[in-house]
Structure 1
Amino acid sequence: MKTVVVYAGAAVAEIAGCFAFWAWLRLGKPVWWLFPGLLSLVLFAYLLTLVETDAAGRAYAAYGGIYIVASLAWLWTIESIRPDRWDVAGAGLCLVGAAVILWGPRG
């Protein structure tokens, strides 16, 4: 359960940080938007270090599925664009892949 919470927090932090840059560059927001965006990205990187796994690459790979689902949630809640069935199906596949990567039996 801790892993899922950490991944969810990391996803929100990463998306918020990247969106701050997007808003500055593409939406004409003031340059000061970059400062909280950078802090958010630092928080994202820190949170990924809390995942209980023996390899950073495995933690990052499994995180990808959570990031995709969180990105679609952002799309819907912040940008007011509802994900379509293909978005949902793709996100579901990614979550299955993330679970296999993170919790698959290792010998």
Structure 2
Amino acid sequence: MRFLTPLGLYVLAGLCEIGGGYLLWKWLKADRPLWTGVLGAVLLVAYGWVATWQTTSFGKTYAVYGGVFVVMSIAWGWYFDGFRPDRFDIIGGLVCGAGIAIILFWPRA
């Protein structure tokens, strides 16, 4: 159960960063209203704040989050943009997931 809190925080951070970036992207590239860009900027700031809630060091937090970002970005693109991941996207996501598990949960001596 001790792994649920850090994973939940990584998912929350991912939703803030990917969602914020997506809204800014839509505002700038798809001519969405200004409020879309403002909300995206607020979410990006929230991402930076949420990341500080992790109990690990800065470097470890961002190393693990890099893998979470890759996996969540593939899923986000699939759900929201109609991007269909191919087998190499899936394999890459699984490799990132293994890296997340090793860095965050592998027993240390």
Number of residues of Structure 1 aligned to a counterpart in Structure 2: 106
> After superposition, where does 1:12-51 map in structure 2 within 5 Å?
12-51=15-54
How big is each residue's C-alpha offset from its partner over 1:4-48, in whole Å with a ceiling of 9 and x where there is no partner? Answer: 111011111101110111111211112221111111112111111
Task: Tell me what 1:8 maps to.
Answer: 11
Task: Tell me what 2:75 maps to.
Answer: 73
- Give the aligned residue type for 2:106: G
Segments of structure 1 that go 5 or more residues without pairing to the other structure are: none
Segments of structure 2 that go 5 or more residues without pairing to the other structure are: none
